[in-house]
Structure 1
Amino acid sequence: MKLSVCHRTTFNYASPVTQSINTLHLEPRTFPYQKTISALVRVIPPTRVRKFTDLFQNITHHFELPAAHIRLEIESRIKVHNLPLDISQASREATLAGYDDPSIRELTWPYLQESHWVSRHPEVWRQALDITRSLPSVYDQASALMAWIHQEFRYETGVTTANTHLEEAFAMKCGVCQDFTHVMLGLCRAVGIPARYASGYLYNGPRDTLVGAQASHAWSEVYLPGAGWIGFDPTNNTLADERYIKISVGRDYDDVAPVRGSYNGTGHCRMEVQVDVEKL
């Protein structure tokens, strides 16, 4: 499946601002099951955009606008070619013992630790044990955790923000895809399953059955021995298959925010975000 994405973020300030400094995660690298065909990032007012790779191998852009401006527009246009997801039976049956290999331990260690928005919490640990204690394989455990979040949590916009912690979302049992993903990361890590945050987009198709397709989307990825990183989306209770466009990965949202920046000037700013995902 070939997909295209146009993501436009516009900031309109009440009065001119200066010294705008921004970091972007808007261009995907090539992942297993996903090849980047083309990618373009555009900034208005025009400025020099520096491109580099961050700690998690995400393609990252950075730019600065020292001069006064009253509007900032950031647009990315990408095209990707996604392959159907294929998980072998051996990987579906792999247990926690599959993480004993030293090379796997080294690769997955950061995704078993606490991070900025995902902490170790006794209630999360107890809930994770209750859900997974009778399930032998990592795949079955991750699937059960995903299904539990989808069933027990209510998808509702406006009750959480980008700064909502795992513990708050877990207590409220509601939120959006970012919150669902942080909760799943906490549950997985609590029982020894390496899990990381994935940010990107979702192609809904003509049936319009999936939640989160009209904006940036988030889901969790679990490391399955023999298969590598496989996406589990608790918002929609489904694997992240060829409908998902992955942009960046990290320990939690703090590592992968699509647009993050600061500036000097008014606090009155209207932000508009438009995301269009189409099948080619």
Structure 2
Amino acid sequence: MKYKLVHKTEYKYAEPVNNYHSLICLTPRTLPKQLCRDFTVSISPEPSQIIERVDFYGNTTHYFSLHSPHKTLTVLTTSIVECLTETTGMPVMPSYVTCSEARQRFTEDRSLKISLLEYILPSPLVKWDQEIRSYAQDCFMDELPLYECVQVLCRKIFTEFDFVPDFSTVQTPIREVLAAKKGVCQDFSHLAIACIRSFGFAARYVSGYLETLPPPGKAKLQGSDASHAWISVFIPDYGWCDFDPTNNVVPGERHIITAWGRDYSDVPPLKGIIFSYGKHALEVKVDVIPLQ
């Protein structure tokens, strides 16, 4: 399957912005089952240069700066992505590595634990306490496969939480999301990661897009035709395996990956610094268009 991704971000400022520095993280990753065939970025007003970089996690980013007054900023990215195989994303063979065995692997294999440490420890937006750990306690049993336990956790979040777009912001603590039992894909991913890390396992935040083909009479999956977020968990003997707690599915070819990191703070679509004052309005439009 091949997709065209169009992501348009527009800022309108009440007062002129004289200086603006920004980092774009919207280039789809090239992976064994996903190829980024083309990526273009168009910015208005046009910066003098756009610098491509690869960050610590292997994500492709683009840096630009503006030094002339402007009241509107538009960033338009267009990508062509090809998913090489039709897959549900699940392992070919079931994983039987139990939680106890996985924890033992991390303890005995020091090099493995060091390589995963940043995904096991707290991060800027993913911290936990006993309340968060207790929420997932019935999902993680030592004698059960870790893969199965993560699926149980995702199903629990999907079942017990409501998808409410305007409830949270980037800075909403996980504890508030847990108390209110509502949020968006970013919140559910952060909650799942916090629960998983609280038991000593490695989990990372995945940013991307979701395209769905709902059956007749059924609604589209939440997060469709928009930026989406899900999680990836390190399963010994298998490596990184993806899970989508927002929709209770194992991501497949219709989940298109742009970046991953410890949490959202590592991979926001646009991260910038402005030198101005006054209010601003933000509008984001995303199209995920199947090409074949």
TM range (shorter): over 0.9
Q: What is the CA–CA distance in structure 2 between the aligned matches of 1:42 and 1:102, rounded to whole Å?
A: 45
- 3-state SS of the aligned residue for 1:46? coil
Q: What is the CA–CA distance in structure 2 between the aligned matches of 1:18 and 1:254, rounded to whole Å?
A: 25
Q: CA deviation at 1:218?
A: 0.6
| RMSD over aligned Cα atoms | 1.6
* Contact persistence 2:11–2:283 (CA under 8 A): yes
Runs of 5+ in structure 1 lacking a partner? none
- 3-state SS of the aligned residue for 2:259? strand
Alignment match of 1:93 (pick from 86, 92, 96)? 96
Q: What amino acid maps onto 2:41 in structure 1? A: V
* Contact persistence 2:27–2:60 (CA under 8 A): yes
Match of 2:15 in 1: 15
Q: Does 1:246 align with 2:249?
A: no
Q: What is the CA–CA distance in structure 2 between the aligned matches of 1:145 and 1:210, rounded to whole Å?
A: 19
Q: CA deviation at 1:274?
A: 0.5
Q: CA deviation at 1:214?
A: 2.9
Q: Does 1:2 align with 2:10?
A: no
- 3-state SS of the aligned residue for 1:198? strand
Q: What amino acid maps onto 1:249 in structure 2? A: W
Q: CA deviation at 1:72?
A: 0.6
Alignment match of 2:187 (pick from 148, 167, 179)? 179
Structure 1 window deviating more from structure 2 (174-183 vs 228-237): it is 228-237
Q: Does 1:111 align with 2:119?
A: yes
Q: CA deviation at 1:236?
A: 0.3
* Contact persistence 1:138–1:193 (CA under 8 A): no
Structure 1 residues 214 and 267: CA distance shift in structure 2, 3 A: farther
Q: Percent identity?
A: 34
Structure 1 window deviating more from structure 2 (130-139 vs 187-196): it is 130-139
Q: CA deviation at 1:163?
A: 1.1
Alignment match of 2:133 (pick from 119, 125, 137)? 125
Q: CA deviation at 1:77?
A: 0.8
Q: CA deviation at 1:105?
A: 2.0
* Contact persistence 2:128–2:195 (CA under 8 A): no
Structure 1 residues 268 and 182: CA distance shift in structure 2, 3 A: same
Match of 1:234 in 2: 245
Runs of 5+ in structure 2 lacking a partner? none
Q: Does 1:198 align with 2:206?
A: yes
Alignment length, in residue pairs? 279
Q: CA deviation at 1:142?
A: 0.5
Match of 2:228 in 1: 217
Q: What is the CA–CA distance in structure 2 between the aligned matches of 1:203 and 1:267, rounded to whole Å?
A: 37
Q: Does 1:73 align with 2:80?
A: no
* Contact persistence 1:88–1:227 (CA under 8 A): no
- 3-state SS of the aligned residue for 1:16? strand
Deviations 1:19-68 (A, max 9, x none): 11111111022123211111112211111111111111111111110111
Q: What is the CA–CA distance in structure 2 between the aligned matches of 1:255 and 1:151, rounded to whole Å?
A: 28
Q: What is the CA–CA distance in structure 2 between the aligned matches of 1:176 and 1:128, rounded to whole Å?
A: 19
- 3-state SS of the aligned residue for 1:145? helix
Q: What is the CA–CA distance in structure 2 between the aligned matches of 1:235 and 1:86, rounded to whole Å?
A: 17
Q: What is the CA–CA distance in structure 2 between the aligned matches of 1:214 and 1:270, rounded to whole Å?
A: 21
Q: CA deviation at 1:5?
A: 0.5
Deviations 1:130-178 (A, max 9, x none): 2222651111011001001001111112111111122221222110111
Alignment match of 1:188 (pick from 191, 196, 204)? 196
Alignment of 1:39-50 (within 5 A): 39-47=39-47, 48-50=49-51
- 3-state SS of the aligned residue for 1:21? strand
Q: What amino acid maps onto 1:107 in structure 2? A: S
Q: What is the CA–CA distance in structure 1 between the aligned matches of 2:50 and 2:98, rounded to whole Å?
A: 45
Deviations 1:226-269 (A, max 9, x none): 33222111110001111101101011110010011121223321
* Contact persistence 1:230–1:240 (CA under 8 A): no
Q: What is the CA–CA distance in structure 2 between the aligned matches of 1:36 and 1:142, rounded to whole Å?
A: 29
Structure 1 residues 206 and 137: CA distance shift in structure 2, 3 A: closer
Instruction: Please report the TM-score for the alignment, with normalisation by the length of structure 2.
Output: 0.91
Q: What is the CA–CA distance in structure 2 between the aligned matches of 1:277 and 1:201, rounded to whole Å?
A: 8
Deviations 1:106-142 (A, max 9, x none): 3321111101111121011122222222651111011
Structure 1 window deviating more from structure 2 (206-215 vs 74-83): it is 206-215
